[in-house]
Structure 1
Amino acid sequence: MKLRRVSNGATSRLQIAVTDGWVDMARALESLGSEISDENARRWSEDVVALLAAPADVRARLATVAASLTLSEDDGHTPTLPFAPRSFRDFMLYESHAIDAARGFVRSFLPRAWGIVRAYEAVLGPPFPPLKPHRLWYRQPIYYMGNHLAFVSDGDVVLPSYTRALDYELELGFVLARELYDADPAEAEAAIGGFVVVNDFSARDVQHDEMRSGFGPQKAKHFCNGMSAIMVSADEILPRWRDLNGFVRINGKLIATPSSADPPWSLGEALAHASRSERLRPGELFATGTLPGGSGIETGRLLAVGDVVEIGIEGIGTLTNRIVDKDGRTA
C-alpha cells in the first residue's frame, strides 16, 4: 500500500496509489460502507498512522476497492508531508558510513591530521583506527534526537546562515503504528507501520565542533529534515529492507547509488533498545542513519545555494529539494 497526503493549503486528503494514479482514501472507505464503522472511516481517511494500524485484511480490502474506482482529480491539491511526526530519532546503523564520514570530516576540517590518515591508510590500509565509531556503537544501536517540527517534503530548503558546509544524507525512515514499551525485537518490528525516504540535512562545519562538545548535534541538524511525500506500508518493505538500493543526484548528475545492506542491528533490535523503560507511541519517526555512500561528506560533494538534490529508495519514492538563500534566491 502506497499512501500520500495532498493539500491546497486549506484542506488536505489522504490518497492511496492504484495502477494509473491516486484515489482518495475517503472514497475507498465509503465504498466499503457498513463494513467500516463511521469512527474508523473518519480516522482512516484523515490519519495515515491510524490507517497503518488498521487490521491487515481491512487494508487489503481498501486496496482492492480503490483499484476499482476512478482516479481522483488534483483540483489544486499537491503532495505534502504524509504525516506530522510526534518525535524523530535517527540511528547510525552503518559502520562503513561512520568510517567514511569520519574520514571526510578529517579531509575537510583537519588538514594536518589528514596527512597522517592518508599516509597510514596508504601503508597499512583502511581504516585508520580512530576513524572507527565509538566503542558504544559496537555494543548497542545508537541514535540522536532530532527536531520533528522541522520536516519538509519536496521543495526549497533554506541554507542556514551559519554554515558553509551543507550536506545531504540519504536514509530509510520508518514510523511506529503501535505503542511500544520494553519490547522485544519481534514485537518492536511488528509495530512498524510504514516507510519513507528521509534526508537528514547537516551543517557539517557546525557539526564538527558540536560533536566535540560532548553534547551531540544541535544547530548542525535541527534546522531541517526532508521526508518523501509517499509512504509505503511495512508489509511491502520490511521483508526486504536490507536489500534496497537508493540513489543521489545533484543537479541531475548521479552522485551515488547507496544500498541498505549489512547493518549489524535489525530494525526490531534498534526499536527494542529505544523502548527500554521508555514508552514509544504511534506517529514517532525513526531512521536508519545514512546508507553507506549516501552523504556528501563521504563523496566530497557538499551542497550550495542553487543546487537541486534528489534522493530516492527503490520501492518507496523520491525526495527533491532546491537549496536557496534566506530570501528564496538560487544565486
Structure 2
Amino acid sequence: MRFVTFASPSPGDAPRVGRLDGGTVLDVGFDGDMVAFIEAGAPIAAERAVPGARLLAPLVPRSFRDFLAFEGHLLNAYRNLGRAVPAEWYDTPVFYRSTGTTVTGPDTVLPWPSYSAQLDHELELAAVIGRRCRDVRAEDALGFVFGYTIWNDVSARDVQRRELPIGMGPAKAKEWDGSNALGPCIVTPDEVDLDTLELEVRVNGERWGGDRISAMHHSFGDLIAYAAQDQTLLPGEVLGSGTATGGSGLELDRWIQPGDVIEMEAGPIGVLRNTVGTPNRKDH
C-alpha cells in the first residue's frame, strides 16, 4: 500500500491520512496524523475518494536518524575533499539525529537558508519504524519497518565545512525549516524489493546520479539494529540510508541553483519533486 498525508481542497480542513489508489487519494477514515495512524496499527475504515487533494510530507517524524551506508558516495565525496574514507566506517554504521519539525513535502519550494551560499541535495531512501523495537538483531530488524519513502536531505555545504572539524554535528548545515523533504508517499514493505530498488536524482530533467539499494555497505537491518542497541525506537521514527552514489552535487562538483527542479525517484514510491528557493542573505 501507498500511504500519504494530504490537504483537502476545503479551506480550514486539517491534514488527513490517506491511501493512493493509482492517482486517486482515498481518505482512510482515521482521525489523527500519520504517526498516530502507524502507532495504531494502520487501521483503515470506510475509504472515500478526495478530488483535488494535495499531497503533503507523508509524516512529521518523531525524529530523523541519518546514516552513511553507500561506499560509492563516500569515495566520491572524500576524493573531492582530498581525504580517505575512515577505516572505522566499514565496521560502524554511525548516524546523526535531527528533529522532525524541519520536514517539508513534495512539490514545495526548498527554503535556502540565509546563512549559506552553497546548497546541495542528497538522495536517500528512508525507512519508517512501525513498531517499538529494542535490541533487535539485524536479520530481524526489517520486521519493524512500516514502510519506505524518499528523503532529500538538503545540506548547506559551506556551513558543513566549518562545523565538521569541531567534531559535533552536523548542526546548522542540516537543520532549518524545510531542510528535510520527504515523499511523496510511504510504501509498505510488501511492495518494495530492496534487492532491486533503484534510486535516481534528476536536476532540471538531467540525471545527476543514483544507485541500487543493494549497494549499501550497511543494510537497513544493520542500521536499525545499531540504533536500537539499549534504546527503544518508536513508531514514526525515520532512519535514512545516507546519500546514494552520485546523489549529491558534492560528488560531482556541480551545485544546484535557485529555481532548479530536483526530482528524486524510487520505484513504487514515485517521484519526490521540489524547486530550489531563492537565497535570502542576511548580514552577520
Q: TM-score, normalised by structure 1?
A: 0.76
Relative to structure 1, the CA distance from residue 94 to residue 180 in structure 2 (aligned partners, 3 Å threshold; closer, same or farther) is same
Written as runs of structure 1 = structure 2, the 5 A alignment for 1:241-256 is 241-256=194-209
Inter-CA distance 72–161: structure 2 relative to 1 (3 Å threshold)? closer
Aligned-residue offset at 1:145? 1.0
Q: Note the C-alpha offset of 1:246.
A: 2.1
Q: Flag structure 2 segments of 5+ consecutive residues without an equivalent.
A: none
Tell me what 1:122 maps to.
none
Q: Does 1:72 align with 2:36?
A: no
Aligned partners of 1:310 and 1:83: how far apart in 2?
19
Distance in 2 between the 1:6 and 1:24 partners? 9
Deviation at 1:54, TM superposition (A): 6.5
The answer to whether the aligner puts 1:262 opposite 2:265 as a matched pair is: no
Distance 2:97 2:23 in 1: 38
Change beyond 3 A, Cα 1:207–1:299:
same
Name the % identity. 32
- Does the alignment pair 1:48 with 2:23? no
Residue 139 of structure 1: aligned partner: 91
Matched, 1:322 2:275: yes
CA distance in 2, matches of 1:104, 1:261: 24
- The corresponding residue for 2:100 is 148
CA contact under 8 A between 1:5 and 1:229: conserved in structure 2?
Answer: no
Quote the Cα distance in structure 2 between the aligned partners of 1:13 and 1:147: 21
Count of matched residue pairs: 275
C-alpha change, 1:214 and 1:55, in structure 2 (3 Å) is closer
Aligned residue among 4, 10, 14 for 2:17: 14
Following superposition, the deviation at residue 200 of structure 1 comes to 0.5
Q: CA deviation at 1:52?
A: 4.5
What is the CA–CA distance in structure 2 between the aligned matches of 1:158 and 1:50, rounded to whole Å? Answer: 28
| Larger gyration radius, structure 1 or structure 2 | 1
Please state how far the C-alpha of 1:242 moved relative to its aligned partner: 3.5
The one-letter code sitting in structure 1 at the alignment partner of 2:89 is W
CA contact (8 A) 1:88 1:284 kept: yes
- Which stretches in structure 1 are left out of the alignment for 5+ residues? 27-41, 107-129
Tell me the residue number matched to 1:34.
none
Q: How much does 1:231 deviate?
A: 1.0
2:164 to 211, 214, 235: 211
Counterpart of 2:237 (choices 284, 295, 301) is 284
In structure 2, distance between residues paired with 1:82 and 1:287: 15
**Conservation of the 8 A alpha-carbon contact between 1:173 and 1:198:** yes
| 1:213 CA drift (Å) | 1.2
Once the two structures are superposed, what CA deviation does each residue of 1:9-42 show, in whole Å capped at 9, x if it has no partner?
532222212245222112xxxxxxxxxxxxxxx4
How far apart are 1:131 and its partner, in Å?
2.0
C-alpha RMSD over aligned residues: 2.3
Look up the SS of the partner of 1:261 in the other structure: helix
Find the aligned partners of 2:33 and 2:240 in 1 and give their Cα distance.
21
Instruction: Tell me by how many angstroms 1:48 deviates.
Output: 3.3
Equivalent residue runs for 1:74-153 within 5 Å: 74=52, 77-106=53-82, 130-132=83-85, 134-153=86-105
Q: 1:225 aligns with which of 180, 200, 207?
A: 180
Higher helix share: 1
CA contact (8 A) 1:52 1:233 kept: no
In structure 2, C-alpha distance between the alignment counterparts of 1:73 and 1:306, rounded to whole Å: 29
CA contact (8 A) 2:16 2:33 kept: no
- The residue identity in structure 2 corresponding to 1:100 is N
Report the Cα distance in structure 2 between the residues aligned to 1:254 and 1:94, rounded to whole angstroms: 18
